[in-house]
Structure 1
Amino acid sequence: MGKFLLVDSRKLDGFEGLHQAVHGSHVDVMQLGRGRLRGTLSHIGIGDFSLSIGSFNVGMRTQRVSSDDKLIIGMLLAAEQRVAHWSFDMQPNDVLVIPPLLEHDGVFHGASAYAAMRLDLNDVASLFGGEARLSDPDTWRSRGHFRADTANGAIATRRLVAIMSHLRTNELGLTQSTAEYWKRAIVECMAVNVMSSLPPDDSGWLPSARRLIRRVEDYLDETGTRPVHVSEICAALGVSRRTLHRAFQEVFGLGPASFLRHKRLCAVHSILHESAPGSTTVAAVAMGQGFYELGRFAQYYLAMFGERPSQTLGLATLPTAGEGVARA
């Protein structure tokens, strides 16, 4: 594993394993349901940021003491029966905010699965930059419950689980730049459910679409070939996701996420085109540009370039017409 990615995955055999339900935070646990507890628990650490995903098959009572100075943002991935945190009744895909130094209690009445990310409160200004309310640390100092949009919430849950699965099995490690991208991708899965429950922010001045696009492209030029997440652009330019989306739709007819995906596909193509077989792999290059579902990546690549990524890599060793004449 690269030094920017720490992974720990284990099977649970007893409720004691859930004392570390959130990486770096102790949780007091009591089993409520009958039967032997079985489950899984996985942690991913990217610097001071961590993501934990757990599942268990019986009812549980959880309590966290007020000694943790980190912000915890959790999401209920699945539940067979009622789940309550404080006085909030949770539905699948809902997001829960546990502020630093605040006691927390939860009751799971049956088999459940959850995700929780743990981060420093000072990091929210960067991770949620461009969103006036979410980038303000004071927003996260109070406990909160955000009801997820039905369709988008399910998509965010599937994406979060897929990211965890891929990073957990990733043998290539992460560079500093790709680690930052994956951290933002994880945060985005929960942020989309938070923002869907907030009223639309139509206030403020909307910059000229083309002027804003120029600022975005200048920023992308400065970052080079590393993958850039939408939330990073919002934070750097101080614009909201809605403002950015409207500008990209007006200029390109597609959203910023699709635009950035096309740009990353072009970066993959250029790297493969200039690399000799044996010097790298398609999987390594794709992962380095933020693609974790290789099957879907291959579909995107074929649709855009009319060839498979392995074909592009193979073409790197073929001489051009001029080179062939010179060798003859």
Structure 2
Amino acid sequence: MVRAFKNTLIIFSSLLFCFAQQEDSLKVGLQSLKKIESDVIIISAEVRSGNLNPTAYRFSVFPRHRPSEVYISRMFFPGDSLQVVLPENILDADSLANIASLEPVGGSFEKSYKLFSKQSDVIDLGIFDVKKKSDIVKLSVVDGQTGSPVLKPTIKIFQLGKVLYQTVLDSSGYGRLRIPIDRNREIPLYALIDTDGRYPLWRGSIEVSQGVSSITLALNSMSLMIGESLFRVRSDLTPFRKGPENGSEILFMLSKDDHIVISRSAGNKLYGRVRLDLHTKKSSNFFHGWIRTKDVEYLETFATDTNHD
């Protein structure tokens, strides 16, 4: 009887010991699992597609110095939450040493990239803008007399009256224009450069090559002599006449924001000269004539500029 009791006690003690070991192992396992779960990082971003409609997006993350070693690549559909989870220790710890790319699918779209640094818990990459594939024009706008850059001109690129691209260049008169590759290459492109009155509006055709190209455009202001003032034309199709009479011959029509240098007046008419660019803007000529006072606006900014030609 005593022996049976001892055997039972030994078995019960062994079971308690095994259970305690299992509980300790379970605690260690849960702690390890919790640690593993906490050592991940969430990378998220947003997509702004505008009026473009990709059917899907491929989102990838890889090291900047080893782009072939992709950490993760996943497909997302419009409306999905753009988010991936990675082990925290997989990212490169150097500053801006990691790259996230977004490749829209279902059309002619550009692949976008964002550099980012390793952080804890969550990395928000901000917004990826979906853009059509484009030819790139490195455009510089300079003063035709001095060669100095023209400060922040506004640029518009047209084809058949439709604006393909518009932007404001920087303080060095430089910018990268993105011209969609799906345009009709048989039809010429036209540019309009607006400097808010500092120069006459520049209008003309431009040639855009495939890939990346560079273009420099020169703007020419009107030099003033003593007694002259600078005016700007108020509207398109404004007649520039040979004489001050109402029925006088029309030399040509002026466009809105064209500049005219006025030297004298007669009643409600002003006499002056305009500059017309010839031969694809490689040369120019001056024409003298008359314009109605109500058709022009005085440019006070240039009133004190004088030059002896």
TM over 0.5: no
**Which is strand-richer, 1 or 2?**
2
Higher helix share: 1
Higher RCO, 1 vs 2 (CA within 8 Å, ≥6 residues apart): 1
| Higher Cα Rg, which structure | 2
